[in-house]
Amino acid sequence: MSRIGKNPIAIPSKTEVLVKDLTVTVKGPLGELTKTFAKGVSVAVEGNEVKVEKTEDTIFTRALWGTVASHIRNMVSGVNQLFVKKLIVEGVGFKSAVSGKDIVLHLGFSHPVNMQIPNGLTVTAEKNVISVSGIDKESVGSFAALIRAKKKPEPYKGKGIHYEDEVVKRKEGKKTS
């Protein structure tokens, strides 16, 4: 039994949830999110809460039940407050800047790395901190992961790009006699 799936999702004021077949649309003060889910789980709006129920009892629907509830919970909270991921750029000469719809990263390569910012996301770069924010938790997390993948932190000096709350496990360097 899914602990996440069986709990109802509260709908805050100024937020509207519409369900049509397998598509759920959430409208709020910050925008609108729409997502289509697979068969096997039904979503119903009752009063000011959303309930997710499985329509059949298979391994697939039991796994999907909590996942659908989490996605809807993230959609409801996303249209009310932005999701933010912060990345820290560490290293001598490493820097980042936002120019128009692109983020430009100087990471010690012979060329700057240009990445196009997806629609719906806001990216700011101040000194050595990159902030990715938006209403869709999935797109915020995936774009932050793409930025981090360009130069992962290395364990000896800690140079690279890492999340704000990530702890980089450091290794001891080569010993001299």
30: left (phi over 0), alpha (psi -120 to 50) or beta: alpha
- Name the domain boundary from 46, 78, 110: 78
Assigned domain for 171 exists? no
In this prediction, residue 99 carries a pLDDT of 93
Q: Which domain holds residue 140?
A: 83-163
Assigned domain for 125 exists? yes
Q: Are 144 and 158 in contact (CB under 8 A)?
A: no
Mean pLDDT computed over 113-141: 95
Clarify whether residues 90 and 138 are in a common domain: yes
Assigned domain for 142 exists? yes
In this prediction, residue 175 carries a pLDDT of 83
CATH of the domain at 36: 3.90.930.12
Question: Which pTM does this prediction carry?
Answer: 0.90
In this prediction, residue 4 carries a pLDDT of 85
Indicate if the pLDDT at residue 1 is higher than 70. Answer: no
Read off the pLDDT of residues 18-27 as tens digits, 9 standing for 90 and up. 999 889 999 9
